[in-house]
Structure 1
Amino acid sequence: MAEKLPLTFAVAEAPHTSALRDGTIGVEGVAGDWLTIKPQIGAFRRMVRDVEFDVCELAPTTYIIARAYGAPFIALPIFVLRKFHHAGLLVREDSGIKHPKDLEGKKVGVRAYSVTTGAWTRQVLIDEYGVDNSKINWFVDDEEHVTQMKLPANVAHATRPLADMMADGELQAGFHGNAGIGRKGNPTAGFSNTGWQEVEAHYPDLFPNAEELEWDYYRRTGVYPMHGTIVIKESVVRENPWVAKAIYEAFDEAKQGWLKDLHSGAADTASDKRYRKLLPLVGHDPLPYGIDENIKTIQALEKTAFDQGLTPRRMSMDELFIDPRKL
């Protein structure tokens, strides 16, 4: 029997990845060491800076930026997290921000400029509402994962927590949760809980009817924002060309089992319920894998990353993804 290829996997626990992580489903020809990095955002930084893992779940915007600067890993069209982004940009009631264009000239907080939540929301603001992103004064209180990335001129580092700046009126808007004003503390030291504190952020949403707008957006554009993207070291693929297809097929097999439970109602976590609610909109599979199935979404994120000053150049599909169906 041929010896299996040892690979480390840094992929977050999810209902559609659990069968991989617990060994119920294996990657053919691979002896996988499935690591748990909490929060997964810590793995993002370790991968883009130190290429620490053989296979890793990355935020797609972080990946595109890293790849544009020559990162030695490439993505498979496996997207383990999806979410629309009309909701989550919070505004102070005294800010005078009633419509997206009102953000121009205002100060807005986001943990880091390359945070995928921010990138997708700015895509909506720019493409759907004609907002001039260069006229928004962005404030960040974390460093970017990709150290080579150059911040645009309208992005500044805050000298104190975004949550405090929002509370004191120094910011007029900010992203909710870990993407912005829903936490305090510097996450750079390994993203441990030390120094990282979640805080309440009770401000109204820029789009109070976000869900209605999201469904309309998808029906018109076909863009279904992705978050977690699976990347693999180029050296691993170069030395073992078969492994990309094996990984893709294993992830798909694990997802198919989850889909049966999702449709039967057996899968019923908060995440499952959110995806089940989207079925009438996106169809039978709320986590589609594959390049053809996701081409509009991939192209939208690649384009908006460049338009927002996140990447130094445009990226081709062949530079960004391996198509396992063609192997």
Structure 2
Amino acid sequence: MSDPGTLRTVLATSPLTEPLKSGAVASAGLTFDFVDVSPVHKAFAPMVRHESYDLSELAIVTALQAVAYGRPIILLPAVVASRFQRGCLITRRNNGVMSPQDLPGKRIGVRAYTQTTGMWVRAHLSEDYGLATAAMHWLTRDPAHVEQYQDPSFVEHATDDKTLLDQLREGITDAAILGNDLPRDEEFTPVIADAGTKDSAWYDEHGFVPINHLVSASIAACERDPGAVRSAYGLLLQSFTQLQLPAGKPSPYAFGFDKLRGPVEYVIEACLEQNLLPRRLGIDEVFGPAEKILRGLPA
């Protein structure tokens, strides 16, 4: 348990979080006890299963599953990572998948079926090409961070130690979804050839960058020191308002209940189509507890 006014925190270093880590953005009444977890997704299971941290970055699919299964976390309206996703679906340059329309019946590798990048790729395949998630076979390596969730029947868990790229090279899979570890060599090529153009058109239509990670707080921390949680959110928001982002490029960060309502509702519908949630969540269920805390109301 952290001391009063101290939050044990996991946030990946980025232009948004670096000022908090360096102390350039700070509050006299709050201390961040930053824990270095790399890659950051290794913090997600400890957070939703054991409240191992007071404040932690959390993938949006894991976050929504945590709410649906009653795990001890509260979601703050703070997006700390987002990106366009269509280019994350790759295949072999030689003898690979020729186009997205060829994917039904094919095997696609992904680190976990619940991985947020995979959710976004499947959502785009559905929206752009009318491809149902269950029409493809998904080969995974990791289980869900929320242990109550069970993968659907069209998902298989690999029993060997081959990497996603090894599986793709050897023809075990026909395509693969990768994120920050996306390869840049000529051996692989995107399945969606015009991914950038489609991403731009999607942004123009929907008005947000596909969300990867939000910030979550443990219920224990919210009950012990709600003022510290409010202060942490305020510091993140302060860092955001001081950022100098590249002109003309969409922001990978977003804050506020009104700003996130539409994007989160989109993700909920995508998760339902992909059998990622046991039921439809209401937006008040997702953000209601945080709204009370940030407004200083009884939880």
Q: Percent identity?
A: 29
1:214 counterpart = 2:189: no
Residue 301 of structure 1 corresponds to: 267
The residue type equivalent to 2:282 in the other structure is S
Change (3 A) 1:27 1:237: farther
1:109 to partner: Cα distance: 0.4
CA deviation vs aligned residue, 1:34-93 (integer Å, no higher than 9, x gap): 221122122112212221001111111111112211111111111111101111101234
Q: Distance in 2 between matches of 1:302 and 1:315?
A: 7
Deviation for aligned residue 1:239? 4.1
Counterpart of 2:53?
53
Tell me, yes or no, if the aligned pair for 1:93 and 1:204 is still in contact at 8 Å: yes
- 2: CA distance between counterparts of 1:286 and 1:47? 23
SS in 2 for 1:80: strand
How many angstroms does 1:281 deviate by? 5.2
- Tell me, in whole angstroms, the C-alpha distance in 2 between the residues paired with 1:109 and 1:40: 21
Q: Distance in 2 between matches of 1:306 and 1:27?
A: 40
Amino acid at match of 1:139: L
User: 1:204 aligns to what SS in structure 2?
Assistant: strand
- In the alignment, which residue of structure 1 is the partner of 2:236? 251
Partner of 2:174: 172
Deviation at 1:94, TM superposition (A): 5.5
* Code of the aligned partner of 2:32: G
Structure 1 partner of 2:100:
100
Match of 1:317 among 278, 283, 292: 283
Check if 1:238 corresponds to 2:223.
yes
1:74-85 correspondence runs (5 A): 74-85=74-85
Q: Does 1:127 align with 2:112?
A: no
Letter in 2 for 1:219: D
Rounded Cα–Cα distance in structure 1 between residues aligned with 2:113 and 2:174: 17
- Per the TM alignment, residue 142 of structure 1 is displaced from its structure 2 partner at its CA by 2.0
CA contact (8 A) 2:117 2:179 kept: no
TM-score for the superposition, normalised by structure 1: 0.81
Structure 2 CA distance, aligned partners of 1:44 and 1:144?
Answer: 10
Question: Contact between 1:119 and 1:305, CA under 8 Å: does it hold in 2?
Answer: yes
Change beyond 3 A, Cα 1:46–1:27: farther
CA distance in 2, matches of 1:231, 1:96: 39
**Equivalent pairs, count:** 289
Which amino acid in structure 1 is aligned with residue 125 of structure 2?
L
**Equivalents in 1 of 2:283, 2:42: separation in Å?**
27
Please say if residues 88 and 177 of structure 2, whose CA atoms lie closer than 8 Å, have aligned partners that are also in contact. yes
Give 1:108 shift.
Answer: 0.6
Give, in angstroms, the shift of residue 138 of structure 1: 0.4
Counterpart residue number, 2:248: 280
Aligned equivalents of 2:98 and 2:86: distance in 1?
A: 14
Instruction: Output one character per residue of 1:203-251: Cα deviation in whole Å (capped at 9) or x when no partner.
Output: 1101222111101011112242111211001232234443443222110
**TM-score (norm: length of structure 2):** 0.88
Q: Residue 165 of structure 2: which of 150, 154, 163 is its match?
A: 163
Cα separation, 2, equivalents of 1:177 and 1:254: 25
Cα RMSD (Å) of the superposition? 2.4
Is contact 1:62-1:146 (8 Å) kept? yes
SS of 2:254's partner is coil
- Give 3-state SS (helix, strand or coil) of 1:52's partner: coil
In structure 1, runs of 5+ residues without a counterpart are: 183-198, 263-275
Change in Cα spacing, 1:27 to 1:298, as seen in structure 2 (3 Å) is: farther
| Deviation digits for residues 257-293 of structure 1 (CA, Å, limit 9, x no counterpart) | 332xx4xxxxxxxxxxxxx2xx4253xx552211212
Offset at 1:124? 0.7
